[in-house]
């Protein structure tokens, strides 16, 4: 049915003949024709709506389009390459003639990226076939990160800049071939929710005053540029963050729900990955497989990770509380823990740090009933991932 759908779409859209050797999506990823590819795959899915191979292909293309649009926005507004802020670290070239950036503009950029992630996640969520598989040669995926209409950036170079590793050095896999399967469907969905949750958390807070104080460190042409010595900048930033104001507090609940979905999908990911018996260019391998990243995975790592995920889940759904000793960092007389679910679902209008130190956490957020989150679960992950590699493994595991 898939090939009949692709042939019909190819004829109707006047495309070159479809080959069965590699997935059609790769043609559009390698030529950088992402918008065209999305049109073709959506049309093919209309002909064959039960085809999860097509659906997987469309979702991957939607993800790349979202990344491309984020890159174009960062380039348009002159995002500086030495950025270390979330979502601004994406490597784009310096724009010789950038547009002026404001805080509302930055929020619109993040909202747009979040919408692209949501579209891809919705497509991925429609996949039901357990044997789905999608081979992709990532080295030659091309993106247009300047909005010029020329897809000149190769994915292999983007990965090298972001990860500090040149995958072209792998002589056994110079095309950086990966074969995505059902476990990777869940992994990609989890990553979409992770990033959407991070955006919700960032957009929940009113960060305009802080943005204006440091925009020149992240963008080439901010509308408001701080003029003064660095010490004065940091003093004023410290004053600004003495009171945290929420611009869109409802996003805190969305953040919580996204992270609960991440936890659910982590379990699904590893259930599928652990059940695999092949060994074919795995993105996320089980202990019997070899991954394309050449990072070994053990059952101890997976078990420790899932135990930590369970603790995160219990904290976010209110079954466990943040321990009192953590709350005591803010108010030494605190004898109760804090219910994170209540705080995120019913946040205060502001967080005033001086008031917090003087009076403690508000009574409605305190919890003397539920057990404490097991902080040891987080420490066990660090040991299982050999501590120095913990951050890299955590970003990979999701």
DSSP states of 90-121: S--PPPSSPPPB-HHHHHHHHHHHHHHHHHHH
Q: How far is CA 191 from CA 90, 147, 203, 374, in A?
A: 16, 26, 18, 24
Higher pLDDT, 333 or 336: 336
- 372 beta partners: 321
Q: What is the pLDDT of residue 168?
A: 62
Q: What is the pLDDT of residue 158?
A: 86
Average pLDDT over residues 10-24: 55
Average pLDDT over residues 195-208: 97
Looking only at the bridges linking them, the beta strands covering 243-245 and 142-143 are unpaired
Structure confidence by residue, pLDDT tens digits, 308-334: 999 999 999 999 999 999 998 888 777
Global confidence as pTM: 0.93
Q: What is the pLDDT of residue 178?
A: 95
Average pLDDT over residues 95-119: 97
Average pLDDT over residues 265-271: 98
* pLDDT at residue 285 is higher than 50: yes
* Mean pLDDT computed over every residue of the chain: 91
**Residue 177 belongs to what H/E stretch?**
strand 177-181
**For residue 214, what pLDDT band results from cuts at 50, 70 and 90?**
very high
* pLDDT at residue 247 is higher than 90: yes
* pLDDT at residue 390 is higher than 90: no
Q: What is the pLDDT of residue 332?
A: 77
Q: What is the pLDDT of residue 22?
A: 81
Q: C-alpha angle with apex 156: 35 to 117, nearest 5 degrees? A: 45
The DSSP string of 121-132 is HHHHHT---TT-
Q: What is the pLDDT of residue 15?
A: 45
Structure confidence by residue, pLDDT tens digits, 163-181: 776 666 667 888 999 999 9
Higher pLDDT, 160 or 202: 202
């Amino acid at each position: 049915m898939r090939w009949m759908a692709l042939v019909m779409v190819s004829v109707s859209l006047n495309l070159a003949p479809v080959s069965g050797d590699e997935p059609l999506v790769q043609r559009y990823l390698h030529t950088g024709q992402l918008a065209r590819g999305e049109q073709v795959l959506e049309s093919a899915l209309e002909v064959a709506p039960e085809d999860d191979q097509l659906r997987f292909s469309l979702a991957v293309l939607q993800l790349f389009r979202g990344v491309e649009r984020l890159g174009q926005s960062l380039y348009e507004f002159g995002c500086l390459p030495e950025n270390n802020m979330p979502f601004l670290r994406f490597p784009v070239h310096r724009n010789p003639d950038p547009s002026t950036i404001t805080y509302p503009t930055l929020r619109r950029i993040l909202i747009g990226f979040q919408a692209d992630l949501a579209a891809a996640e919705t497509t991925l969520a429609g996949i039901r076939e357990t044997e789905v598989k999608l081979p992709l040669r990532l080295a030659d995926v091309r993106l247009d990160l300047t909005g010029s209409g020329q897809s000149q950036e190769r994915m292999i170079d983007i990965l090298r800049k972001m990860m500090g590793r040149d995958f072209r050095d792998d002589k056994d896999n110079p095309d950086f071939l990966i074969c995505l399967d059902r476990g990777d469907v869940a992994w990609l969905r989890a990553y979409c929710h992770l990033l959407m949750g991070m955006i919700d958390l960032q957009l929940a807070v009113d960060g305009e005053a802080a943005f204006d104080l440091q925009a020149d460190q992240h963008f080439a042409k901010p509308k408001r540029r701080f003029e003064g010595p660095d010490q004065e900048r940091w003093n004023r930033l410290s004053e600004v963050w003495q009171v945290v104001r929420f611009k869109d507090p409802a996003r805190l609940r969305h953040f919580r729900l996204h992270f609960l979905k991440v936890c659910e999908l982590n379990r699904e990911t590893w259930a599928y990955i652990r059940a695999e018996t092949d060994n074919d260019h795995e993105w996320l391998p089980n202990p019997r497989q070899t991954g394309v990243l050449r990072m070994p995975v053990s059952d101890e790592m997976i078990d420790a990770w899932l135990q930590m995920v369970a603790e995160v889940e219990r904290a976010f759904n209110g079954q466990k509380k943040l321990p009192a000793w953590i709350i005591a960092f803010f108010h030494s007389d605190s004898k109760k823990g804090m219910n994170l679910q209540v705080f995120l679902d019913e946040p205060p209008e502001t967080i005033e740090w001086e008031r917090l130190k003087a009076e403690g956490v508000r009574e409605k957020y305190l919890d003397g009933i539920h057990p404490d989150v097991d902080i040891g679960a987080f420490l066990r992950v660090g040991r299982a991932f050999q501590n120095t590699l913990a951050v890299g493994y955590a970003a990979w595991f999701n």
